[in-house]
Amino acid sequence: MLFDNNRTGLPVLYNEAVRQSSSDAAILIFIHDDVHLCDFFWPMHIVNGLQAFDIVGLVGNTRRLPGQPAWCFKNSSFVWDDSGNLSGSVAHGTGFPPTVLNRFGPPGKAVKLLDGFFLAVRSETLLSRGIRFDESFDFHFYDMDFCRQAEQHGLRMGTWTLSAIHESGGAFGTSAWQQGYQKYLDKWKS
């Protein structure tokens, strides 16, 4: 499913994909429109990743701290977490070759938080556990919330190898981000 020129919150669209897969099991790949997959073997990599984990992303954190505002930061002052807790790689730029390649740590690690620019999961996994994206989040923090739900339901999340370029580095600290952060803290209390 492609949602071109979208103005709807990602959780609404992602939940539509989950609903449509209820009668036709699928591997669902939730990916932002500014991500370039640069790997000829990406379908095979995703299948392999989903044999190791229930949910696969490209970058994440092996721990979750109280009040943590993103997978990569320890606190709301945007202090990076210790490199030993981070996992995965992603390039940034507007095309190939990328401007920069960020190697956060070895991929293939179990994590508690994944960045939502790329998430892969089997539809049956979400449907059988009743997990959906919380539609009260428009864009910011839907991924953090999704990971918290997955953790509550005992799902294994992990990073996997896949060559990708993400055009955006995030909108941390913006007004919309601050509103999402407050909504997230109100919901999870930490």
pTM of the predicted model as reported, rounded to 2 decimal places: 0.94
Weakest-pLDDT range from 4-8, 147-151, 179-183: 4-8
Weakest-pLDDT range from 57-61, 99-103, 172-176, 179-183: 172-176
CA 98 to chain centre: 20
The answer to whether the CB of 103 falls within 8 A of the CB of 119 is no
The answer to whether the CB of 60 falls within 8 A of the CB of 159 is yes
Average pLDDT score over residue span 130-154: 96
How far CA 30 is from CA of 18, 26, 102, 132, in Å, comes to 10, 12, 21, 12
Q: Which CATH number does the domain 10-188 belong to among 3.50.50.60, 3.90.550.10, 3.90.105.10, 3.60.15.10?
A: 3.90.550.10
Residue 95: CB partners within 8 Å, gap ≥ 6?
36, 165
Q: Which amino acid is residue 108, in one-letter code?
A: G
**pLDDT score of 190:** 84
Q: Does the pLDDT at position 113 exceed 80?
A: yes
Q: CA-CA distance, 124 to 182, in Å (whole number)?
A: 31
SS3 content of the chain, % helix, strand, coil (to 5): 30, 25, 45
Q: Mean pLDDT, the chain, as a whole number? A: 95
Average pLDDT score over residue span 12-21: 95
Q: CA-CA distance, 71 to 117, in Å (whole number)?
A: 12
User: Percent of the chain, pLDDT > 90?
Assistant: 87
Locate tokens 């990328």: which residue?
A: 98
**pLDDT score of 169:** 81
154: left (phi over 0), alpha (psi -120 to 50) or beta: left
Average pLDDT score over residue span 123-148: 96
Q: List the one residue out of 153, 150, 156, 141 whose CA is nearest residue 187.
A: 141
The answer to whether the CB of 69 falls within 8 A of the CB of 76 is yes
pLDDT in tens, 66-88: 999 999 999 999 999 999 999 99
Average pLDDT score over residue span 152-172: 93
User: Percent of the chain, pLDDT > 70?
Assistant: 100
Widest Cα–Cα separation across the chain: 45
Pairing of strands 55-57, 157-159: parallel
Q: Residue 155 — very low, low, confident or very high, per pLDDT cuts 50/70/90?
A: very high
**pLDDT score of 63:** 97
**pLDDT score of 74:** 95
Structure tokens at 180: 């999402």
